Each structure stands twice: as C-alpha cells, then as structure tokens.
Amino acid sequence: MASRGNPASRVAVTHPTGSNDDDDQDVTVREARIMDITKRLDDMGRSTAVLGAWTAIASAASIVMNAGDAIAGEGYAITRILLGLFGLAAAALLWSGRNFGRDGLHAIIAWGALQIPYFAQVEDGNCTKQLFDILLGVSSQTTVNGNVTDFSAVGINGVGVVVAIWGYSRRERIDLWRRRGVEAATARGPISSGSGNEEGADTSARPFLARCGPYAFTT
C-alpha cells in the first residue's frame, strides 16, 4: 500500500483547473462576440446589414473574377478591381460602426453611383460591372463569318441604380442608430463643459461621444 507521503498518490488525486478556466474564458469571448454582432445587426437594421453584406460579396467576387484579365492588361478588368476595392472599404466602414454607420453608408451609395454608367467595347466588358450588371441602353456589334469583330454598348447599369437607391433609402435607419447611441451616452450622466471635470460628473460617456462626430449633438 502506498504511503501517504508518496508523490504518486498525491498526483493521482490532483484535479487541475487551468484547462477549465481557459474553456470558460473562450466561451465568454465567443458569447461577447455574438452579442456584439447581434447588437450591430439591431443597430443598423436587417436591410442595411444585407446591403453591407451584398457590397462586400459583390466587390470581393469582382476582384477575384477579374484578376486574370487585369494581369493580362485588360482595362475594363482593372477598373472593376479598383471599384471592387472601393466597395470592400465601404462595406468595412459600414460594419465598423464608425459615426454610427453614416460614413460607410455614404461610401456604399457612392459605390452604387459609380456603377450606374454602362460602357463596354467588348462583350461582357462593362467597366463598372460588379459580379453582374443589367444594361439599360443600346448595344451594337459587327459579325464577320460568325465572329464578332466589333462591339460597343452604352447606357445605364440597372444594378448600380438599385444599389444607390437602396443605400439612399437607409439614411433614416442610420439616423435612428445615431439617435439611440447619443441617448445611451447622455443617459450615463452630465459631461463637463469646461477643461476640467465637474465634481460628481460622470465622464464615462466622453470617449463615446467623441466618436459620434459632428452629428452627435444634432436632432
């Protein structure tokens, strides 16, 4: 029988708790992230969230699909990639919540507006296409022995029109997000108007209001 002082016996009855603590921390972090995402979706609204997701997906797809032609020196492909990079930045800006999504929404509206002109000199060569496009205009082509030797199309890209109008219609929701944020910040307590803190003033909301930008104190 092992003695009471045997180290092996002590090891056998020891229950390490370090791994359990790590698991609890991981669960807490995941829950916090889920809560952050849920809060962001509630703030921006479902339609705005879908618009932001579409902007990111269409932009990323356009970059990937046109990379080969851009390397080959095709001008329309290079323009599409540049527009895709702008769209990715706009979507990231919206989802970051900067200025309550106002900056990101304005960038997405601009991304949609840039897609409105339709111009192509080769088949499926619209310079402003992002994932897909809809021509509202005229096109012409010359065919010799079954081969297209000349092609041109000019008009309006219907997808760009839809995106721009969609983004413009979400301004009221973004304003609601801003108002909720300002009300939540001001509800924490008064903020000193001078250079120093007023006695008893709650300044915990100061950094939050500082991020609100010039719209923080407008109604």
Q: Do residues 118 and 155 make contact, with C-beta atoms less than 8 angstroms apart?
A: yes
Whose tokens are 């008064």? That residue is: 190
SS3 9: helix
Task: Provide the percentage of residues in the chain whose pLDDT is more than 90.
Answer: 45
The string of pLDDT tens digits covering residues 125-184 is 999 999 999 999 999 988 888 787 788 999 999 999 999 999 999 988 888 777 777 777
Longest alpha-carbon distance in the chain: 100
Distance (Å, whole) CA 52 – CA 140: 35
How many of the other CB atoms lie within 10 Å of CB of 73? 8
Mean per-residue pLDDT, 82-86:
97
SS3 74: coil
The pLDDT of residue 190 is: 53
The string of pLDDT tens digits covering residues 43-71 is 788 899 999 999 999 999 999 999 999 99
Confidence of residue 17 (pLDDT cuts 50, 70, 90): low
Mean per-residue pLDDT, 199-213:
41
Closest C-alpha to 114, from 97, 124, 126, 122: 126
CA distances from 110 to 99, 115, 164, 207 (A): 17, 9, 7, 29
For 216, list phi and psi in degrees, rounded to 5.
Answer: -65, -35
Q: What residues have CB less than 8 Å from 161, skipping those under 6 apart?
A: 112, 116, 136
Closest C-alpha to 135, from 113, 121, 120: 120
The pLDDT of residue 187 is: 74
The pLDDT of residue 35 is: 74
Distance (Å, whole) CA 113 – CA 122: 22
Top mean-pLDDT range of 28-37, 104-113, 172-181: 104-113
Beta bridge partners of 155: 118, 137
Confidence of residue 39 (pLDDT cuts 50, 70, 90): confident
Distance (Å, whole) CA 97 – CA 56: 15
- 97 vs 28, higher pLDDT: 97
